[in-house]
Amino acid sequence: MTAQVIDGKAVAAELRRGIAARVAALPFRPGLRVVRVGEDPASGVYVRNKDRAALEAGFDSATIHLPEATGEAELLEVVARLNADPVVDGILVQLPLPRHIDADRVIAAVSPGKDVDGFHPLNAGLLAAGRPGLVPCTPKGVMHLLRAAGCSLAGARALVLGRSGIVGRPMAQLLLAADCTVTVAHSRTRDLAAECRRAEILVAAVGRAGMVRGDWVAEGATVIDVGINRLPDGRLTGDVDFAGVSRHAAAITPVPGGVGPMTIACLLENTLEAAVARRGA
């Protein structure tokens, strides 16, 4: 079998076109503010890409770039100001934050209705309870990709590799909400290869280059690679051995060009949802 390659760039472009059309029909421009603290170079690239995509889709978007030495109290004041600002519908505080700032405290300070990252404990709780709320962008993007690939979800055995609060845990909740039978595997899982081989849907989000090998994957499985790992030569690669797994899977996402573009598209989707919910359009 040679896997169908799921084109995340194309799926994301279509989602963004749909969002832009919905924004154009609104009587206001949804407002997004991205807060970046310090000079982490990868964060600089991500924040620029988010801002550009938001402007292209017709949002009122701006980045607030604060110096590395910004104190936690000062950052909390910026968040409070954005919470109170009526033109702001979505707030995203780019992670990682400098080490002297408690990221959990900052995330909990964002108004849950403006929490377009879906990281606030209230939104995490709503997702775990199976109730509507703002959902983290990367796992939400994975669900769009699975549906775009025509993957049948109800009753499918899904395995999520990784248990982070940003990807693994919300991913498992979304698959459960879509009626999959979900297993969450992690670094302490016994016989990881055997667990992976049982999966009809495998989502890898561990941050270890090429960890999922061809013989870990069942014939005909759908494999989603959330990993973004930089090789010593500078190239980006996923958590999945793409060539090896492609020989067994029915469908697979590439890195780059798979999940990555969906994360930004879903940030726009969340901002639009937050704006409509808050302003009642």
**What span, in angstroms and rounded, lies between the C-alpha atoms of 45 and 180?**
35
94 carries an active-site annotation: yes
Query: Which pair of structure tokens corresponds to residue 258?
Result: 């798979």
**What span, in angstroms and rounded, lies between the C-alpha atoms of 222 and 147?**
11
137 contributes a contact to ligand GUN by CB under 6 A: yes
230 DSSP β-pair partners: 236
50 carries an active-site annotation: yes
- Pairing relationship of beta strands 4-5 and 251-252 according to DSSP bridges: parallel
When binding is defined by CB under 6 A, the residue of 93, 161, 203, 206 that contacts ligand GUN is 93
**Minimum CB separation from ligand GUN for residue 63, in Å?**
12
User: Nearest-CB residue to ligand GUN?
Assistant: 95
54 contributes a contact to ligand GUN by CB under 6 A: no
From 89-97, 124-132, 152-160, 216-224, give the range in contact with ligand GUN by CB under 6 A.
89-97
**Minimum CB separation from ligand GUN for residue 141, in Å?**
10
**Minimum CB separation from ligand GUN for residue 271, in Å?**
13
**What span, in angstroms and rounded, lies between the C-alpha atoms of 147 and 179?**
13
**What span, in angstroms and rounded, lies between the C-alpha atoms of 230 and 221?**
26
Residue of 94, 115, 225, 239 with catalytic role: 94
Restricting to residues 165-224, which ones interact with ligand GUN according to CB under 6 A?
Answer: none
**What span, in angstroms and rounded, lies between the C-alpha atoms of 240 and 256?**
12
From 4-12, 93-101, 208-216, 272-280, give the range in contact with ligand GUN by CB under 6 A.
93-101
Q: Which is nearer to ligand GUN, 101 or 151 (CB)?
A: 101
When binding is defined by CB under 6 A, the residue of 92, 160, 175, 178 that contacts ligand GUN is 92
Q: In whole angstroms, what separates CA 259 from the centre of its chain?
A: 8
Query: Which pair of structure tokens corresponds to residue 212?
Result: 């999922």
**What span, in angstroms and rounded, lies between the C-alpha atoms of 211 and 240?**
6
Helix 8-24 vs helix 260-279: angle between axes, to the nearest 10 degrees? 20
**Minimum CB separation from ligand GUN for residue 92, in Å?**
5
123 contributes a contact to ligand GUN by CB under 6 A: no
117 carries an active-site annotation: yes
**What span, in angstroms and rounded, lies between the C-alpha atoms of 120 and 136?**
10
Residues classed as catalytic: 50, 94, 117
Positions touching ligand GUN (CB under 6 A) are: 46, 92-95, 117, 137, 263
